[in-house]
Amino acid sequence: VSADDARPSRPAAGWRAAAGLVAAATAVGVGHGAAGLLDPAASPLVAVGAALIDAAPTPLKTFAIRTFGTADKPVLIAGVATVLAVLAAGLGLVAWRRRGYALVGIGLLGAVGAVAAGTRGTLLDTVPALVAVGTGVATLGWLTRVGRRRPAGRGGESETSRRRLLAGLAGAGTVAAVGGLGGVLAGRGRTRAAAAGRAVRLPVPVSPAASVPVGAQLPGMTPFLTPADSFYRVDIALVTPRVDVSDWTLRIDGMVDRPLTLTYDELLALPMVERAITLACVSNEVGGPYVSTATWLGVPFAEIIEHVGVQPGVDQVFSSSLDSGFTCSTPYAAVDDGRDAMVVVGMNGQVLPDARGYPARMLVPGLFGFVSATKWLKRIEFTSYAARTAYWTTRGWATDAPVLTQARIDRPKSLGTLPRDRPMLAGVAWAQHRGIARVEIRIDGGPWREARLAADAGKDLWRQWSFAYDGQPGRHRAQVRATDATGAVQPERRTKVFPSGAQGWQEIQFEVA
């Protein structure tokens, strides 16, 4: 019997890695459960994901939005979970011989979660990560004890300990599942409670939206008004905030004579207008999907400006969101020049959905969303560009970003087929707050020919177009370009979305069959 045999031996590598994984899962599950009770955004994986979003270099973020679209968040969480799994398996491997290292490792991972949650929220938000550390340390510590093999000799011992380890893994796994499920259920409970508090009747607008003119919607085309669940979504909130309006207020201050704090009811009591407006994202590539149209109900900025008395020297509206570090710079001129800039409370006749910024968001026709459309609005500060710098500006994006003119081909799809019995190309074009004056199509590099414009619903709205094409069967190439109502023709040269939006003509290949 050698000295080594006398040492309590450890289970095989696979078992040890599994113990590390199970300990991490238990920690994350219980941490998630704790966050469900405190603040869903403080769940360790979510908090680390959110911190990564803020820290990610701009090109990476642009890539993620472009590649994963609205699926970018699950992808990010899965990535964080994968990294954690690999580290946890490693800690499990060393846990039997170097228990101290493994426990310190868990502590470090937990510290990352706590710092991520705490710096984005309050000190209380570090609790789920700390609970997770405690759970992880206890679980792994316990698993290493139950799974310790006694020196061989007394027959059957090692079998017993393996069985004990297996039982331990199963037990811890159950705790992980219960904790995680608890977090999910707590989240659902919140959603239901929030929905119950939302049984408000939206105010009747003093100025209703003009109905969309007959003929603005071409038959069989992209819906002119986008339903809320298919409206594009872009934001940095990993967890959709579910706001309880009983303790929500909107603060309006800065360089104003009469700063104002409005409750939800007070906001709803202000005069409202309703307008159909097309919103677009600066991250939309030429031909891309990040543009949609809805009918919005809100308080005009003119009303707010009059209430608070904006002082001379103000050139920026700096708005902040309650969910995260998102802040937004809007040129003061754009909310004070008579356009339909507003603080929105309703969308398509319904109370603003959670994903759209309930209870209130901003909207300024003609500007990209990142400089105009703050969701989960918490504060509006009338200030100067010199005094305040917004979230995306510090990350290199444009400070001032009017929507750029774009035309898009929706029919046929790229590499799609145009049926010979209905040889119609169609799409949308937008140049909010300038309006669309012309759309032209060029087939196979030939001359530009004018498309038929659908009825005009207003300059803050996109416009549909169609083009009858009686081409020969086979492969063709179509290009599209729009001219806005100022007479500016969409430039040919493609640019990147960073820092102020993509430009260039969309071009597709298609088949006539």
| Maximum C-alpha span of the chain | 93
Q: What is the side-by-side strand order in the sheet with 506-512?
A: 417-418, 506-512, 474-484, 436-443, 448-450
Which two three-digit tokens encode residue 25?
Answer: 């899962």
168, 144 Cβ separation under 8 angstroms = no
Cβ proximity to ligand MTE, 248 vs 370, nearer residue: 370
326 touches ligand MTE (CB under 6 A): yes
Least distance to ligand MTE from the beta carbon of 323, Å? Answer: 5
103, 137 Cβ separation under 8 angstroms = yes
Among 301, 376, 430, 510, binds ligand MTE (CB under 6 A): 376
369 touches Mo ion (CB under 5 A): yes
Write out the H or E segment, with its range, that includes residue 29: helix 13-38
Q: Hey, which residues between 268 and 287 contact Mo ion (CB under 5 A)?
A: 281
Give one DSSP letter per residue of 139-186, joined into a string: HHHHHHHHTPBPPTTSTTHHHHHHHHHHHHHHHHHHHHHHHHHHHHHH
Least distance to ligand MTE from the beta carbon of 240, Å? Answer: 10
436 touches Mo ion (CB under 5 A): no
User: What backbone phi and psi angles, to 5 degrees, belong to 148?
Assistant: -90, 125
Q: Hey, which residues between 434 and 463 contact ligand MTE (CB under 6 A)?
A: none
Cβ proximity to ligand MTE, 254 vs 369, nearer residue: 369
CA 48 – CA 204 distance, rounded (Å):
43
CA 359 – CA 267 distance, rounded (Å):
10
Question: Which of Mo ion, ligand MTE, none sits in contact with 296, Cβ below 5 to 8 A by type?
Answer: none
Other Cβ atoms closer than 10 A to 2: 6
Among 34, 373, 380, 401, binds ligand MTE (CB under 6 A): 373
Other Cβ atoms closer than 10 A to 51: 20
Site string for Mo ion, 201-240 (x = CB under 5 A): ---------------------------------x------
327 touches ligand MTE (CB under 6 A): no
Residue showing the smallest CB distance to ligand MTE in the complex: 369
Which two three-digit tokens encode residue 437?
Answer: 């004056």
Stretch that binds ligand MTE, among 180-188, 232-240, 244-252, 457-465 (CB under 6 A): 232-240
Question: Which of ligand MTE, Mo ion, none sits in contact with 29, Cβ below 5 to 8 A by type?
Answer: none
For residue 84, the 8-state DSSP code is H
Which two three-digit tokens encode residue 172?
Answer: 């811890």
Strands 448-450 and 350-351: unpaired
Cβ proximity to ligand MTE, 71 vs 86, nearer residue: 71
CA 147 – CA 158 distance, rounded (Å):
9
Give me the residue label for tokens 């037990």. Answer: 171
Cβ proximity to ligand MTE, 70 vs 158, nearer residue: 70
398 touches Mo ion (CB under 5 A): no
Cβ proximity to Mo ion, 56 vs 115, nearer residue: 56
- The residue count for binding ligand MTE (CB under 6 A) is 19
Least distance to ligand MTE from the beta carbon of 322, Å? Answer: 8
Give one DSSP letter per residue of 47-71, joined into a string: HHHHHHHHHS-HHHHHHHHHHHGGG
118 touches ligand MTE (CB under 6 A): no
- The residue count for binding Mo ion (CB under 5 A) is 4
Stretch that binds ligand MTE, among 117-125, 215-223, 228-236, 242-250 (CB under 6 A): 228-236
Question: Which of ligand MTE, Mo ion, none sits in contact with 99, Cβ below 5 to 8 A by type?
Answer: none
Q: Which amino acid is at 315?
A: D
Stretch that binds Mo ion, among 64-72, 76-84, 98-106, 370-378 (CB under 5 A): 370-378
Question: Which of ligand MTE, Mo ion, none sits in contact with 72, Cβ below 5 to 8 A by type?
Answer: none
Residue 226, CB-side half-sphere exposure with 13 Å CA sphere: 21
356 touches ligand MTE (CB under 6 A): yes
Q: Tell me the torsion sign for CA atoms 290, 292, 298, 302.
A: positive
Strands 342-347 and 273-280: unpaired
DSSP bridge pairs for 512: 418, 474
Question: Which of ligand MTE, Mo ion, none sits in contact with 393, Cβ below 5 to 8 A by type?
Answer: none
370 touches Mo ion (CB under 5 A): yes
Residues near ligand MTE (CB under 6 A) are 231-237, 279, 281, 321, 323, 326, 356, 369-370, 373-376
Residues near Mo ion (CB under 5 A) are 234, 281, 369-370
